[in-house]
Chain A
Amino acid sequence: MNALLAMSTPMSWLMERLLEPLSHGFMVRALCVSALVGGVCGLLSCYMTLKGWALMGDAVSHAVLPGVVVAYALALPFSLGAFVFGVGSVALIGFVKQKSRVKEDAVIGLVFTGFFALGLVLASRTRSNIDLFHILFGNVLGISVADIQQTLLISTIVVVILVLLRRDLMLFCFDPTHARSIGINTGLLHYLLLSVLSLAAVAGLQTVGIILVVAMLVTPGATAYLLTDRFDRMTWLAILSSVVSSLLGVYISYWSDSSTAGCIVLVQTGLFLIAFLFAPRYGIFKSRSLPAMTASKD
């Protein structure tokens, strides 16, 4: 590269900054995986925020820890173990809620912390040196080819389900009574959405780790929700903000040599903050000129 030319204009300086990381294979992989996982989680986050399942997302993502540890110990694909424990925690939450008078948020809180604690104990007792730090905080810069394949498979399943059933799931979130009354099996949709949540949490923990995966499952949806009154637009905005956060986060983490997961989530939070302050209709500093509600035609 011609150094003189590269430094001559701000534009080419920026280009170089953007392109330089791409000469490293691990950065290309990290960017692709983060963008993919970001897009998938961004899509799902719309349903999570609208259904009010943010806490459920937190629960499932924490509850997969023992699954990951057991899978490593048994040399199974880690996503299999994680999925089993994710779905297991959901089933257990449903069971305890139904069979006791304890309120749902308390049940969720106690079940997922129980699972998480079990995971910590198992991790400290297993001989194999699994890197707990990587599971908890993500390790997308060092992601293995096998893990990429698993992520790809999981993402495909999640996207196919969410795209095929997007209208049914929206109706299920908005008005389950009506969904039932026109013959839609809402019980099935409920468990399907929870299974998809488990899958997405497994994919998400690849990039940002167990602790922060809930941000991937909530923040993009919340940001998009502040920006529009239309569901379809909300899904696109959530995906866009999530993918942008992932790419930008990985770049920032590379240049500042800091935690990738932290950077991705910080960018997401930053985007939310911008929407929170400046969203045209629902921001704190909303523009006065806009009418309270949209009257425009589509």
Chain B
Amino acid sequence: MPDYSWPAAEQRSLIGKRISRVDAPLKVSGRAKYTYDVTRPGMLFGKILRSPHAKARIVSIDISAAEKMPGVKAVHIIQQPGSTIQWAGDEVVAVAAVDEPTAEDAVRAIKVEYQPLPHMVSDAEPPAGAGEAAGPLGEDDIWDALDQMPPAEVAKQLGQYGVSFKVTEDLLEDMKKYDVPSEVIEAARKATYHEVKEGGARSSYQKAVEQTQGDPDKAFAEADVVSEGVYGLPVITHCCLESHGSTVEWPDKDHLFVHISTQNVSGIAGQMAEPLKTPAANIHIHQDHIGGGFGSKFAADRWDITAARLSQKAGGKAVRMMLERDAELEVAGARPSAYARVKVAAKKDGTITGWQSQSWGTGGPGGGGMPPIPYIFTIPNLRKQHTAIRNNIGPARAWRAPNHPQAALITMAALEDTAAKLNMDPLEFFLKNLDITGPRRDVYREEFGVAADLMGWKEKWHPRGQNISGNIGRGVGLSLHTWGGRGHESHCDFTLHPDGSVDIKMGSQDLGTGTRTCILIVAAETLGVPLEAIKLQIGDTMYPSSGGSGGSTTIGGVSSSTRRAAVDARDALFAKVAPSLSAQAGDLECVNGTVRVKSDPSRSLSWKQACAKLGAMPLTIRGNNPDKSKPPDLTNSGVGGVQMAEVEVDTDTGIVKVKKMVAVQDCGLIIDLKTAESQCYGALIMGISYSLYEEKIMDRTSGRMLNPDMQFYRLAGISDIPQLVVHMMTGKGYDERGVVGLGEPPVISPGAAISNAVANAIGVRVPFLPLTPDRVLAALSQKAGA
């Protein structure tokens, strides 16, 4: 049996080193082509008429004037009269025209009559007692629930409430694939179907979770301290710099060719097939580079399907349908809000004994679920209740580590407040309670040690509000987080050519994280050749399918399928070469561009000479992940990370400046240390943005988003970003776990760490992110008044 396992540390020449992205020169020189850059012969431009109302019934649509305009090639009604609009910016009619201004003029010429209906865009705390009991679960509800509660609870709810959709075998298969426990799968199979009437008068509030464990009343009665607070974060958007969209064409009436900005190249064709009544096999998807997705680009969206319909009406000509900036922020992705009133019970020595939370939040019309609180800490006695708010702000989408940043903020802020109440250094307090953090407990302990040194925690930490000089308060804060990250299903074709060239084809995508680079590192390491010797093609449905880049599953998937294929290819080559080196295949190795006999390196062939022994035909191997026939499992699940933040707050203006951040992170065996570190740098920057600036601001009267732009939807700029220190845990205890994903974990903690640092700096908790001057000053004046 070939040895697929990862090479030992002393044998690695590329894996785990700091290697620059192979596509960096393309990107920094502007030669990388994003979907937005694609132009096709005779291409038309698509534009969409969007609803100005947050909730309305479409009464009538008149497209006659638009259809008659010169240059307009197709008009397509997306939502027919009678439909109900659920958020401002929702798609109503689309046009395709010879250029953008003509398409815009045509959109302006369309007349839609709406009957506005009462809307709600607020996610303020639900009135006491609000909220109907949970109804039948939708498909998304099940996946949300799996994130939030123990499997037994999910199974119970399925039994109790039933489902609002017909459970298919496909779904059950999917569940199996994602390791959903069988009790849940069984419960889903048996769940009764209840029809939910479209447009039925549902309450805006839904009791999503009600759960008690242990004996919370006793824990609070016996506590030495009880800390109470309210915490939360608003809805934010994904704000992808490359907006969502595609360029779609029908080369002939049976085939569709799609350039799309996506995290899910291999999955898109299947999604377009049904609505377009075209076999997935006839749908060709392509993407070279993507300008950001963050969880919001897994689907063939309504506008992509619409582009296909417009193209169809226009005789197959390509239609470019990329969202405008305002639509990008209004409709193409939002992270659900989460707020909670929390009570924590603790003993004098710092032991946490009880948790009670009443939480609420919105993910738009669908409501949404409860973030997994208390996060990481398994508190023995707890009571929690969550109310989901259904409103008209536009739908939520997965946002990098769905629900975890919310859970981390609520939990770590509540625990830090408890430490403050106990007059304990939070580092000591968190270390004290690590026993209830589960399997990564020892990792956290080690990481906290490293982080404390890198931050200079001992010197910098002062009790709350005790480090204010003049109008500047200084403080430090910390947080910790976890994530899964097992590699997804991935397949590749790996070809050795007789002339010595090598190519890999894989239907994966590189989100800018370094996926290309990592695939090449694994292949080059295995074959003992330089990265440049291998040609890699990804981003196309002509290549073997590979999973969507979500859940931090890409690196584990692509590195495993590549490794298996490369080992098989290498061993097949050894078999062909062995006779000419008068050796057994098993005695050979490939190092530094040669194939040689391990015990006698002087008996060697150059890589080219070796490949010539393949004969006339290239050798192609399919690599798969998972692949039980080729053990060991090369990927794993479960990471831990800790972060610390140092801030300065101007107590006169309420302006927060982050001075330094430290991120210490494990992710099993690291393929490329440089891109792993970059992943953490990027996450810290994104984290500073959502901690200080980002918020989807809705106008309650008009129901419109007021900052669908980049002047009031603020992102951190270069001068807002401080010293960032990243330390990756490697070596013994880490490397042998296999490859684990890293895309999401480091973005979970910044909000909590920065919020805690601000509380430490100014001596009072600022309850909600983003930590804007109005909120900071309000907290300070409350402190002064107290």
Query: Do A and B come together as binding partners?
Result: no
Where the two chains meet, the residues of B that have a C-beta atom closer than 8 Å to any C-beta of A are none
